[in-house]
Each structure stands twice: as structure tokens, then as C-alpha cells.
Amino acid sequence: MATTETPPAAWTEDLVRFLQSQPGIAAVRVNPTDRKLSVATLGPVDTARLAEHIGEVLHAIEHKLSEGGKRTAAPAGFVVKRSGDTTTVERPTCVTAPGFWRWTDYNLAEEEDAHDHGHGDEWRLLSVLAATCGVAGLAAFAAGRLGAPGWLVPALYGAALIAGGWDATIDTWKNIRRKKLDIHFLMLAVAVGAVSIGAWGEATLLLFLFSASGAMEAFALDRTQREVSALLHTAPKLATVIGPAGEEHVVKAETLKVDDRLLVKPGDMFAADGEVVKGQSSSDESTLTGESVPVDKAIGAQVFSGTINLAGVLEVRVRRLPSESTLQKIIRLIQTAQKLKAPSERFTDKFGAGYTLLVLGLTAAMFLVWWLGFQLPAFRNEPDRFSAFYRAMTLLVVASPCALVLSIPSAILAAIAWGAKHGILFRGGAAIEKLAEVDVVALDKTGTLTTGELAVISYESFPAGREQEVRELAFALEKNSTHPLARAITQHARQVGTRVREVEQFESVTGQGVRGKFAEGSVVLGRRELIAAGPFASWLEKMPAADAEFSEIWVLAPGLIGRVLLKDRLRPESRGVLAALKAGGIVTVMLTGDRRHTAEAVARESGVSEVRSGLSPEGKVAAIAGFGKAGHKVAMVGDGVNDAPCLAAAYVSVAMGARGSDAALEQSEVILMNDRIENFLSAHRLSRRARRIIKENLLISLGTVVVMVTTSLFGFVPLSIGVLVHEGSTVVVCLNSLRLLLGKNR
């Protein structure tokens, strides 16, 4: 039953439908006046998919709002509450549940603003307007000095003011319709005030610098959005499918299904994430990782949508639908990240709204103080002193929070863009700020510090000296299998040029191994248990098992017994990453469910500071919680389903992107694409650099305001100097943030 006294607005139906389609959402609230939408979650949700649905709801609400706020019947089965301008729709629940809800804010105006300001030509238009303002202003100044006709100077200044204030006027009108005031209104108010006292030059200088800083802001935003646009354009549109009879036909990429076989020729894009089943080649994966070095591809290798096949012809089996491909996940994650605000950015948003009203009030009060208290002329400057209105306009300029408003979002967006280009996805500005604060990095072993793929270490034969024969038999039996152990044996055999032998009467023994018939007789390959069930059981008992860090596969042939030893290899980059983190004063901890012997062997090889082995998922969570209770801020790096709980418990969660499970990706705030562990080091350096630049921006913007407001209160600052210094700080802030795009964080 609805608790509203009046029927809910028509767009409430859209909120109800949204809740019905999103079981992970407990409540949603909308404030049409402030153009805010917030959702409450209880537990983990797929934020990328949620953002897509929210976009649809935003469009629907915007359309309904434009119809004039029609009313409808209260929705059955949901609770509708109204408090002022805010409407909340909740699922029926217990009274204690709202205390555990986690609210996330979205801006109703984002879709409209993206449409108005998201295209790449906006900064060019603003640059032209700013240049027109500057040229016309200089021409007016020169005309006045050269004694031009009386009508020419005001006409040139008028053209300059129109060009410089055009964009600010459009934004101000939109905000007034939303009952909102911001810095654009302040700038226009100052310009009008300056003109009213005859300060045409100061008004023109103000709008020129303001429009120039706006053009720079748009340029910075365009650079960040260009990375997403590039990914969207690289998304493949067509694919060549191989039919059951070997026929080829071209289809749209979005129609592909799992297990479809694709033919990918040199120069073609991979249309979906998949696995190579035939052929050898290399691929350009720079769109996903930023790495320009081609990656070799052979049978069993993974390929990713949007990357390019460079050399040979490949046949690929589709493993993920195009809509769930790595490329599409990247696009959704970046788009979501750009909408999620960092904690400091949310602070400046709240600070800015009240600050604008404070500045307007202070300006009006000081005008009265100067006029009535100090007996200054109200509007007309005198040779030895400025008027009260002139001083008020100067105070209004220098107190406006232009640079402050841009200081944080410009740096956050630049950092997100740099990361996206180099294979690091930040799910919002909060992740960037938090990652810079960590002092402990916990890492899973398998798939994070190690490759997660077993590799052949050696072959043994009994009697000794027949290792090559063991390798040939193992290769012949495993070459048609897709089991991870078989894939490792096959890849190693091909790398060393092993002779291909024909096998007859091939048979798979479920859960144990395989057997086949060769010229010399029947050969069995499998686990120790398979061999132990035969006549060699007593002999096998005398053979020591492989060390805990190895996996073993036995080969039994007439007159020959052999063993293949395999091991999960350490990532080549892991040692350098851990050494760099330790050099930076960060403690590294390996959390693994493996036995102590195996874990310690990897720890010695990698150089990790501390090892905790034999942990269940609950044990990993307890370890993370223990660090938190000790006052540490922990970043957890993992990839598997069993890592999802401890990722959720960490201060910052980081997932390996290519091999990472959906559960791990959903819990992660930072994603390292293509499983490049060295990108964690780049992400950490980027976050620390971004935080440093944010602090610099805040110091520049707030410092300028404090100094200029103080001097303005004593009447020491002419309006022209106030305009130049204050708007100049905005330009400096934008340029400082752009350093994140242009610099190197590796």
C-alpha cells in the first residue's frame, strides 16, 4: 500500500518495473527537482548491467517529466513514500533492512548532458567562441584607443560578450529551469554588473577566460571519452561462420551463439571471445591491453573480441556471446565508471551548491557595508576609490568556485581514460582514490601470481633414457583432448618438435585417463590411481610421489613406464611487481588454499613477504578482516569464484580480467585486462599520481579563492586583476589534470 497522500507521479510506474526486473535492488528514489536518482542494494549486484537498466529508466523519467508531472494509481505490492520533492519506491521488507542498504547516486541529467556535451566537436566550438570573444575584445580596446566612431567600440564589445557568454547562457537557462544556480550564473551576473558600471573591458576579459577554460574542460572530457568511442568503433560488426558441412557464411556479430565455429583470416577482427581450435597465428591485443607486442595464438589459446588476427588463418570456437565479451565488458565498465563519483568529488558537489548561495549573499552584504557603512559611492567610481558595486563585482568574481568545481572530476576522468587505454579499468573515481591509500596487497596464488595453466617441466622414463618415447606416446594420446593437462602436454610437444604417432582404438577412461593401441601394443596414460589398479601396483608403491608443487601423469607401455611432471608456472612479471611494491613500503601477502609446501615454494620464487596457506574462502575473508582490524587498508587481487568473498571484504578489490570469473569481476573495483599482473603496479602508481594532482588542484583553487577574497575585502584588487587571477587558476587546474593523460605511469 502506498503511503502517499496524493497519487504518485506517472514515472513511478517506470521505477516499479525497474525494481521488478532487478531482484538485487531493494529500493529506488527520485528527486525530479535536483535531477537525482538513487538505488539501494543489499548485497552484490552486476553494476555494469545495472547501469544499462538505469539508463533506460532515466530516459523514461525524463520523458514523463517533460509531460508535466501526470499522476497515476499507486502500484500494488510496493511501498511509495514522498518526502518533499523526493519519491521513494520500496519492496515490502522488514523494518531493519533499510539500515543495511547501500545507496548509489545517479544524475537524471547525465543522459541529456551526454547528448549535449559528449560529442567530440564541442571543444572546437567553444574554442571558436572563446577566440571570437578574445579577438573582438582586443579590436574594441584598440578602437577605443585610436578614437574610432562612438558606436564601433560598444558594438565590438557586444560581439565579444555574446561569443564569450553564449555557452554559459545556455547552461544557466537549463539550470534555472531546474531551479538551480551555479558558477555560470555567477559569471554572467558579474559580466552584466561590470557592463552596468562601464567596465566593458573587464567583462570581456572575464568571459574570454571563462569560455577558454570551458573549452579546455571540454577538450579534457573529449580525450577521456575518445577512449570509449575507440572501443565502440573497434567492436566487430560481422563474422564468418563455418557450417556443419564446412560451408562459410557471413552473419552479424550479435547473432553468434556459444560453440559456433568462426573462420578468422589475417587482418580480420575476432568477433567474439573464443578458443583457437585450428591454425597458428598472432593477434594485436592493443585495444584491450595497450600492449603493442603481438601475442602468439595456437590451438587452445584464448582470443578476444575486437582484437585483430595478424598472420595465419584460424578457426575459433565461440566461448562467450558477443554481448558478454571482454570488449563489451570493458565498454560497460568504463561508461559506468565515468558516472560514479569519487568521495572527494561528491564532497565538492555538495559544497558547491551551498557555496554559490553563500557567495551571492556575501556579495550583497558587502555591497551594503561598503555603501552604507564606509560611505563609498554606490555605483560610480571616483578617481581615488572604487564604488561599492565595483568592489562587490570583484568579490563575486574571485569568490566563484570555478577552479574548485573542475579540480577533482577533471583529474578523475583523465585517470580513468589513461587506465582504459592501458588495460586498467577503474569502476569509478572512488577506486582511484582508495587504491592510493593501501598499505597491504593480498594476492591469490593460482591465476594471479601464477599463470593458472600447467606447463610440462620434465619427462621421466623407467628404464632411463627413453624419455623421448614417453613424450611421443603422451603426445599421441593427448593431442585430441581439451583437458588442461592434455593441452599442456600437447603444447610442449609441438614446441619441441615431437614426432606425431598414429593411435588406434583410442578410449577415454572417465576421471582417470586415456588408453590407445600402438604398433608395440596397448598404452595407458593417466593418474597414479589408474596405474595402481593394474599389475604394476606393487612396483608403483615403491616410487615416491612427486613433490606437492608438481602434478604427475603416468604412461604405461609394453616394456616401458614413464612419468610427465607438470607445474603451474609463476608469471614472469610477478617477481618484479612484488619487488616494486615492497620497495614502496607495501606489505605483500599470498592467500591460498594450497598446501604449505606448495605455497612456500611459490613464495620463495616470487619474493612475496608473507604466506598464508591452506585457507578456505572463509579463511581468506578472516585474513582480510584481520588486516583491517589492525588498521591496514588492504587491496585484494584475485580471479576465481572462491576469491569473490575476500574481494568484497577488502578495502579495494582487484580482479584479473581475462580469466577472472564473473563473481570476481562483479565484486571488483579495479580490473586488470588480459591478466597482466604488472598492470596492478601501473594502477597503483596512477592512483597515487591522481591523488597528488587532486591535492594540487584543490590547493591551487582554494588558495586562489582565499587570497583573492581577502585582498578584495580590503579593496586592493581591481576587477581586471581579479578576473585574470581567478580564471587563470581554472586554466591551470585543467592543464594540471591533463598531465595524467600525457604522462607515463608505468
First-to-final CA distance of the chain? 57
Is residue 75 within 8 Å of residue 88, measured between CB atoms? Answer: no
Q: 334, 336, 306, 340: which is closest to 320 by C-alpha? A: 306
Q: What is the CA radius of gyration of the chain?
A: 33
Sheet holding 25-31, edge to edge: 79-83, 86-90, 25-31, 36-41, 102-107
Is residue 606 within 8 Å of residue 444, measured between CB atoms? Answer: no
Residue 83, C-beta contacts closer than 8 angstroms, at least 6 positions apart? none
d(Cα 401, Cα 706) in Å, to the nearest integer? 11
Residue 687, C-beta contacts closer than 8 angstroms, at least 6 positions apart? 415, 431, 432, 433, 434, 435, 436
Sheet holding 281-284, edge to edge: 295-297, 281-284, 308-309
- Residue 731 sits at the vertex; the CA angle it makes with 167 and 351, to the nearest 5 degrees, is 75
Residue 197: Cβ within 10 Å count:
18
Kindly name the residue from 167, 171, 444, 639 that is annotated as catalytic: 444
Q: 528, 553, 383, 537: which is closest to 456 by C-alpha? A: 553
d(Cα 507, Cα 488) in Å, to the nearest integer? 20
Residue 744, C-beta contacts closer than 8 angstroms, at least 6 positions apart? none
Q: Is 444 a catalytic residue?
A: yes
d(Cα 433, Cα 343) in Å, to the nearest integer? 8
What Cα–Cα distance (Å) separates residue 254 from each residue in 244, 277, 322, 336, 721?
Answer: 20, 21, 6, 22, 58
Number of H helices, E strands in the chain: 24, 27
Please report how the helices 719-742 and 402-421 are oriented relative to each other, as an axis angle in degrees rounded to 10: 10
Cα torsion 424, 428, 431, 434: sign: positive
Instruction: List residues with catalytic annotation.
Output: 444
